[in-house]
Amino acid sequence: MKYKQLGQTEIQIPVITFGGWAIGGWYWGGTDEELAIKAIHKAIDLGMNCIDTAPVYGFGLGEEIVGKAIKGRRHEVIIATKCGLRWDKDEGEFFFDTYFNGKRYYVYKNARKNSIIEECERSLKRLNTDYIDIYQIHWPDKTTPIDESLEALTRLQEQGKIRAFGVSNFDVNLLKETLKYSRVESNQVKYSLVDRWIESELVPLCVENKISILAYSPLEQGLLTGKITMETEFKSGDLRKKQFWFQPENRKKILDALEKIKPIAREKNATLAQIVINWTFSQPGITTAIVGARNPEQVEENVGAVNLKLTEEEIQKIREAFTWDS
């Protein structure tokens, strides 16, 4: 495994991070807890020792599964979790409502100082640990001044409850505003071959300020693995089918682009997923690609991406395959 420095901290994180959204079950049509724990163990064994999760992943369940999986191995892992999305109180900015396990949830963006401090205590309990390595504001909250949120994060760091803090889903303007008040070590944002919006302004700003970019959904929720075809049907509770890229005409676009990069995969004796993951963490400014896995086999495939060597020409070919006239 290869590692990179998180921001300006002493924390070294692997170029592929274990993404814990899917194992929470919500949005992905349920979870198998036993398999999820085995997947995390396999990830740690293979050096993919950074685990990214959040309270909203399964409404507490995702963090609880991580907590069980790291029991006795806490010293081996870097835990990244988040704050700022609440479903237990209607305070802040309404975000969305959803069903999970027969229950309706109303989720609010809430990055108020007291709320963040309360959330941190709950996450520590669910994760069965007394500190969090990387703590991030999950989504911007328009109802709370950013300096108030940062005050809470600074206090938690001073208390030793978090080692480093960052943000997630912050655009250029909001990140600039944030930096007026405090340093942040990371910005976790969506980035994939079909969603490269961060490249023009956000990446240069992060590079200049030594802020790590943690790229989520690099496989576009499974679409860029090539395993989802035009015939794939999603089971009840799997909300991916409603997403933009999963619509038939867009799905076809992606499958056609994947065909163009199959020769590279064949030549490298690699899967399409491995090619895409490697392409992602090889891009300027990207510290790690956060890739979900539900079982040990998927973890092994993901980790295999580290050993690939893509040439500059191949990297460019891959980019061009996913560049469309809009």
Q: Which residues are catalytic?
A: 57
Contact 119, 83 (CB under 8 A): yes
Q: How many CB atoms lie within 10 A of CB 307?
A: 12
How far, in whole angstroms, is CA 219 from its chain's centroid?
11
CA distance 91 to 94: 8
Q: What is the C-alpha separation between 313 and 132, in angstroms, rounded? A: 40
The alpha carbon dihedral of 169, 60, 277, 9 has a sign of positive
Q: How many residues does the chain have?
A: 326
- Residue listed under structure tokens 């899967």: 271
- 84 near 111, Cβ under 8 Å? yes
Continuous H helices in 167-311? 172-179, 202-208, 248-268, 272-281, 296-303
Q: Are 215 and 16 in contact (CB under 8 A)?
A: no
With beta carbons less than 8 A apart as the criterion, state whether 1 and 303 touch.
yes
